[in-house]
Structure 1
Amino acid sequence: MNAIQPSYHPLQQPTVARRRVRRASPTANRQPYRAVSGETTAKLFANIVISSAAVSGLVQLLPYQLSQQTKLQDLKKEVSRSEKRVTRLSSTFNRHFDPEQSQVVMQEQSNRVAPTQRRVILLDKDLVRD
């Protein structure tokens, strides 16, 4: 009789069977790291490709930029020369159209002399015979 019934003490509570929680296997834990490492590798590869394209573009643009700098220096020299010429021509223009200097300009450009002035002719002594 006693062999069929489990031993049960009146003050003791019946034991409940507990479920065992399965732990993840070591291969299951590695899967998330593989996904992250694959994504990181893809990003790294894409960044290397983009960087190499950028460097290649800069290397190709360098000779063009140098030639443009040379052209710019030539243009700056030409602008400087033109500014000097414009300044000189502007002063000449102002002189020609100044009413106070019109008599002086006419005398410079022709052989005429103002009626109030006397003409002075310089002669070499050796060439003049008395």
Structure 2
Amino acid sequence: MSALRKPLENPTAPSERPLPRRRVAPQGQRQPKPKNQYQGVAVETGLKVIVNGVLSVAAIATLANLFPYYWSQQSKLQELRTQVRSTEKEVAELQSNFNRSFDPTQAGSVMQEQSGRLAPNQRRVVLTNQNP
């Protein structure tokens, strides 16, 4: 049975595929380091800080200009609310008078108030001062 087996490959024998070769950078062609390699990043960061500072100052100035406008609008709103309350009271009075005018049970008294006439079964009473 051992004759029927395939012979094992020799692990030390070279394989059929060649191994890829590593590239080695030549030592003499390195680029010289700049004097300050972070100078570009520092300039960019500085510009960002300056631009953000200018934008912040502009935003604060705009807000400072908006506050007086806001306060004036609030005072106008307060005046309007006061006027609305007084107008609502007036409307409520007029509504009650309107309802009273069209109430059939009070129609006689309303006509008497508006015309000055008395009902036939009533007499006018006039008070006079007896002491001169």
Normalising by structure 1, report the TM-score: 0.68
Post-superposition shift, 1:88? 0.6
The counterpart of 2:64, out of the listed 59, 62, 71, is 59
The counterpart of 2:123, out of the listed 119, 122, 125, is 119
Q: 1:28 to 1:123 in 2, by over 3 A?
A: closer
- Runs of 5+ consecutive residues of structure 1 not aligned to the other structure: 1-18
Post-superposition shift, 1:22? 6.9
Return the letter of the residue paired with 2:36.
R
Aligned alpha-carbon RMSD (Å):
2.5
Give matches, 1:100-119, under 5 Å. 100-115=105-120, 117-119=121-123
Q: Partners in 2 of 1:50 and 1:97 — Cα distance?
A: 67
- Runs of 5+ consecutive residues of structure 2 not aligned to the other structure: 1-25
Normalising by structure 2, report the TM-score: 0.67
Between the two proteins, the alignment pairs up a number of residues equal to: 106
Number of the residue aligned with 2:34:
28
Instruction: Give per-residue Cα distances to partners, 1:68-97, cap 9 Å, x unaligned.
Output: 111111111111111111111111111112
Work out the percentage of aligned pairs sharing the same amino acid: 44
